[in-house]
């Protein structure tokens, strides 16, 4: 819409100019919204990635290989009752931060 349609009155001309102005503003807002959405998306993705990183694999029971629940590690597995002192201590290669 670059060439104005037949303008019959001053009011129509005024309205036409306002429509042009509003269209430009809407386009500007859409552009801004798009970039905001993109930024929000990447922020959400980054957050999800951080959460994923935070979720470290839990120690597993050597008997039933189920992940041990968080908290203090008892002397035996809560799932199968495997005695942890029945096997040599686990390698300490995965250090807790």
Residues at the site binding Zn ion, with contacts judged by CB under 5 A: 61, 63-64, 77, 79-80, 82
Nearer to Zn ion by Cβ, of 4 and 74: the residue is: 74
Question: Which own/partner contact pairs does 71-78 have at CB distance under 8 Å and 24+ positions apart?
Answer: none
Closest CA to 62 of 87, 35, 36: 87
Nearer to Zn ion by Cβ, of 16 and 79: the residue is: 79
Q: How far is the CB of 76 from Zn ion (least distance, A)?
A: 8
Q: How far is the CB of 79 from Zn ion (least distance, A)?
A: 4
How far apart, in whole angstroms, are the C-alpha atoms of residue 70 and residue 58?
8
């Amino acid at each position: 819409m670059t060439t104005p349609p037949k303008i019959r009155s001053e009011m129509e001309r005024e309205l036409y100019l306002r429509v042009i102005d509003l269209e430009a503003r809407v386009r500007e807002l859409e552009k801004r919204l798009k970039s905001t959405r993109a930024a929000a998306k990447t922020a959400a993705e980054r957050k999800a990635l951080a959460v994923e990183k935070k979720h470290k694999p839990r120690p597993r029971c050597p008997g039933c290989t189920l992940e041990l629940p968080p908290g203090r590690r008892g002397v035996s597995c809560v799932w199968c009752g495997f005695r942890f002192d029945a096997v040599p201590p686990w390698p300490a290669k995965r250090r807790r931060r």
